[in-house]
Amino acid sequence: MKACSRAYLAAGAMLLVSASFGISPVASAHDKVSTVMEVGGTKLAVSPQELRALSALGNLARGTQSARQDRALADARRVANSRDARFALALYELEIGNRRGDDAMRAAALDMLIASPLTRPERLAGHLAVRGQIAYRAGDFDTAAALWGRLAELTPNDPDALANLAQVRLAQKDTAGGMDLLARAIAARTALGQSVPEDWYRQRLSIAQQGHLVEPGVDAARALVAACPTPENWRIALVVYRQLVAAEGALEVDLFRLTRHVGVLRQAAEYQRMAQLLKEAGEPREAKAVLAEGKQRELLDSTTSPTREIIAEVERAIGRPGIVRPEPPSAAGAAVRLGFTRLNAGQRSEAEAAFRVAADDQAGGPYADLGFFWLTWLGR
């Protein structure tokens, strides 16, 4: 069973990258036209005038004297004309913007750093991540998509980059794109041996439900309970699955049986419908047991409609022998029914073998899914 994490790294929750660079200006004694300053290991050629302004700004960058910082910023912006000086200025602006929480300053600085050939490759990914976050928070999804798309190209196996890009695609109403990216993010985390945030699985299923994407939704439902088999996730997965496959007839009966056995049948209407379906399928005694459970859980009141009428119908059906039970619609369906019967008889290993037959049936359709769900529940 894969481990799940409750933490969710969405586009608006990516960690910020601190701009602490350890800047130490070093002047060249032999050149009066060009002066060298070293910024975080990068040597930059600036004029003496640029060096003076940038040095003054650097001395204030990590402080809290906003007024003095603003004056130093204005002086540095006025004289920073060379490529190298503008790069150093952007680093200082990012430092100050981070400390102030000023997204406008940070965005402008990051745009400069992302475009600059002086930015080291190992720092580019962090700049793209944070700049994309700022754009996403501002509702500028096109910019966020461009930035995080570039980040995903640079780090194709980074699950967090893929998950954040998925949020942008969803914000842009690209449901299929968002679903694909979330699936890739989950696969990337799994490949790295890292726990996958539970919300990634849930969101993927929710997207499929909203867009009525049947095949992706079935995959998402199966993945959710396999990775994070909590009662709430079983409830979500089975309810959404029933909606997506439009279960009816024998399939709906068997899906209700699974839902009840897992312990996530929770609504009066579900107990009522399951009892009615069982009665119509020639299983009135099982229907009676379902109604009794609903009453025991105080979800059903036998004195009110429609429960009162359903109870009467079930009792009449029990008194009429000779009702033929319908056959399940497929070999996989028969295997699921057999597994359910064996499980009720206390024959767990035989039940698992029958469910595995259904789960492995490539032509089994929804009953192959039911086989998978049963095996997942039994193997929890």
Cite the beta strand spans of 93-207 per DSSP E. Answer: 196-197
Determine, yes or no, domain membership for 182.
Answer: no
93 and 63 in a common domain: yes
Beta-strand runs (E) in 61-195: none
- Structural domain contains residue 28: no
Q: Are residues 146 and 270 in the same domain?
A: no
Q: Comparing C-alpha atoms, which of 101, 106, 111 is closest to residue 146?
A: 111
Q: Are residues 154 and 122 in the same domain?
A: yes
pLDDT of 29 above 80:
no
The CATH number of the domain where 146 resides is what?
1.25.40
Q: Indicate the pLDDT class of residue 39, thresholds 50, 70 and 90.
A: confident
Judged against a pLDDT cut of 60, whether residue 2 lies above it is answered with no
Residues 139 and 88 in one domain: yes
Mean pLDDT of 18-26: 43
DSSP-derived pairing of the beta strands 35-39 and 42-46: antiparallel
- How sure is the predictor about 27, in pLDDT bands with cuts at 50, 70 and 90? very low
- Residue located via tokens 């359709």: 365
Strand bridging mode 196-197 / 4-5: parallel
> Is 261 in the same domain as 304?
yes
pLDDT score for 327? 62
**Closest among 224, 202, 205, 203 to 214, alpha carbons compared:** 205
Give me the pLDDT at residue 266, please: 95
**Residue finishing a domain among 288, 303, 326:** 326
Q: Please provide the DSSP assignment of 38-79 as one string.
A: EETTEEEEE-HHHHHHHHHHHHHHTSS-HHHHHHHHHHHHHH
Long-range Cβ pairs for the range 313-316 (8 Å, 24+): 313/276, 313/279, 314/275, 314/279, 314/284, 314/287, 314/288, 315/284, 315/288
pLDDT recorded at residue 323: 56
Quick one: tokens of 254? 């068997």
pLDDT interval class at 32 (50, 70, 90): very low
Answer yes or no: is pLDDT of 119 > 90: yes
Domain that holds residue 134: 36-172
Q: Compute how many other C-beta atoms are within 10 angstroms of the C-beta atom of residue 379.
A: 10
Of 172, 199, 222, which marks where a domain is finished?
A: 172
pLDDT of residue 176: 86
Task: Read off the pLDDT of each residue in 192-217 and give the average, rounded to a whole number.
Answer: 92
The count of domains in the chain is 3
Q: Give the Cα separation of 65 and 201 in Å (integer).
A: 46
**Mean pLDDT, range 285-303, rounded to an integer:** 96
Q: Are residues 152 and 86 in the same domain?
A: yes
pLDDT score, position 129 = 96
225-245 tens-digit pLDDT: 999 999 999 999 999 999 999
Which of residues 121, 140, 172 is at a domain's end? 172
Q: Is residue 222 part of a domain?
A: no
Residues 59 and 107 in one domain: yes
Residue 133: inside a domain: yes
Is residue 30 assigned to a domain? no
Rounded to an integer, what distance in angstroms lies between the CA atom of residue 319 and that of residue 288? Answer: 12
Strand partners, 46: 35
Same domain flag for 43 and 145 = yes
The answer to whether 260 and 237 are in contact (CB under 8 A) is: no
pLDDT of residue 33: 53
> What percentage of the chain reaches a pLDDT higher than 70?
88
